[in-house]
Amino acid sequence: MSTGRSLSTRRGGRSTEGDREKGRLERLRPSERREVPKSSSDAVHATQKPGQSPVLAAVDLGTNNCRLLIAVPYGSGFRVVDAFSRIVRLGQGLQKSQELSEDAMERTLQALKVCARKMAKRNVTLSRIVATEACRRARNCDAFLERVSVETDLEIEIISTDEEASLALAGCLPLLNPEIPNALVFDIGGGSTELVWHRARNHDTHRNGNGALDSISLPFGVVTLSERYGGDRFDPATYRKMVEESRAALDDFETRFGIGAAIRDGLVQMVGTSGTVTTLAGLHMKLRRYERNRVDGTYLDFSEMEGIAEHLASVGYRERAAMPCIGSERADLVVAGCAILQGICERWPVGRLRVADRGLREGILVDLLQRVLPAE
């Protein structure tokens, strides 16, 4: 199955603020996160034939999940026609070994083969397949991506933390309230956590097309934090340590922008996109099974989230696994996600959070859509 010719190098990725990205990477040990070279174009794969209607695909290969969306243009936006998501834990054990394990690579390869089959079945004409933190860190990632290319014909691009945050923001923009001038938008991933400080177009200046003023990438997510603090068992003291670590990692960002002052003036909204956030929303709504249409766009008060999070941290793995919207695949990771979320909420007490079951994949589709829609 061919997904088309790559229009740029595999290890590409735009950075609207190159110096800022370099500065964030330098704050980590070189062995922990490799720098992603900048590229003037995206690794977009095109196969559209004359007269063929465009079919778009976006694949997000993260530390914990492999996700696919396939969509077609619909009005000024897009309509999703197929989707796939599988927990692959590509970054499992990466924190200790600095390499992707054979088991993790095999699980991920099988998921990517499903993506390739779905893309072929839907006759995808334009696609972008990106990898994030696990591939940024792993010493053996180039060999893994070569294996993926040979066995699936998928060419994966490792994107920078800066672009990861920008794409997540683009996917969440429809959920922002235009009457509130500032927004904190975050994505808690498996290996890293991205956060964007955003200002709407109609309020003051902005630095790029999405209105993002700046972003930060925390070098931990639900997988890495869980592994560091003991896996699936957490006592109250350990949970509190995770919260404090997450909160402290945001201090420099607060100092640079004075976000707390804007919050006190009622000028900030918050949007969260991650499995942690959507899981807490599902639990709060007492859903017997997860329903995206009910969760996406809903609001959660901080007090509600904190109560659920602390309860999850207080019970064992089996109790969490038995809960609707969690299950055995997330039961050992959700507590770490709660700690990161609580750290963000304590650092910036906006009061409530808008839940987004959307993000990087949707951001990619928005970008691809601009390539196929006629200019106005």
Q: Say what the pLDDT of residue 29 is.
A: 33
Residue 177, judged by CB atoms within 10 A of its CB (0-12, 13-18, 19+), counts as exposed
For the domain that residue 146 is a member of, what is the CATH number?
3.30.420.40
Q: Once rounded to an integer, what is the mean pLDDT over residues 306-333? A: 91
Q: Is residue 30 pLDDT above 80, yes or no? A: no
Burial of residue 145, with CB atoms counted within 10 A of its CB: 0-12 exposed, 13-18 middle, 19 or more buried: buried
Residues 150-201: pLDDT tens digits? 999 999 999 999 999 999 999 999 999 999 999 999 999 999 999 999 987 5
pLDDT in tens, 206-249: 444 455 678 999 999 999 999 888 766 788 899 999 999 999 99
Q: Give domain status of residue 374, yes or no.
A: no
Please give the average per-residue pLDDT across 251-279, as a whole number: 95
Query: Could you tell me the CATH number of the domain that includes residue 341?
Result: 3.30.420.150
Convert the pLDDT of each residue in 89-123 to its tens digit: 999 999 889 999 999 999 999 999 999 999 999 99
pLDDT at res. 158: 97
147 and 203 both lie in a single domain? no
Q: Does 306 or 10 have the greater pLDDT score? A: 306
Percentage of residues of the chain with pLDDT beyond 90: 70
How does the average pLDDT of the chain come out, rounded?
85
Question: Which pair of tokens denotes residue 98?
Answer: 């600095």
Parent domain of 237: 175-360
Q: Are residues 158 and 184 in the same domain?
A: no
Q: Are residues 97 and 238 in the same domain?
A: no
Structure tokens at 192: 């890293």
Say if pTM beats, i.e. exceeds, 0.75: yes
* The total number of structural domains that make up the chain: 2
Order of strands across the sheet that contains 299-301: 212-218, 193-199, 182-188, 268-273, 352-355, 299-301
How far is 80 from 370, CA to CA, in rounded Å?
Answer: 16
C-beta separation of 263 from 350 below 8 A = yes
